[in-house]
Amino acid sequence: MIYKVLVEFSKEFLEIKENQINIGIKSKPFKGEANREIIKKIADHLGVPPTLVRIRSGHKSQKKTTEILQ
């Protein structure tokens, strides 16, 4: 499943609407910390291991595309 992700900083939330995930994170975008938190939060919310969540594009952007592998 492919999702578009919109990231907001300094907030804590996660909402999914169809193929869009809006997520708030506390980590700073430094050395991949923010991306790791995004992957972990999405995996926890969907009940899958973090190894099945991949960021396909937008590694350095607030707009990302993620893929949930099955």
For residue 52, what are its two tokens? 């099945």
CATH number at 25 reads 3.30.1200.10
- pLDDT, averaged across the chain: 96
On whether the pTM is more than 0.85, the answer is yes
Print the SS3 string covering the chain.
CEEEEEEEECCCEEEEECCEEEEEECCCCCCCHHHHHHHHHHHHHHCCCHHHEEEEECCCCCEEEEEECC
What digits encode the pLDDT tens for the residues 18-51?
Answer: 999 999 999 988 999 999 999 999 999 999 999 9
For 48, the domain range is: 2-68
Q: How many domains does the chain divide into?
A: 1
- Quote the CA–CA distance of 14 and 7 in Å, as a whole number: 9
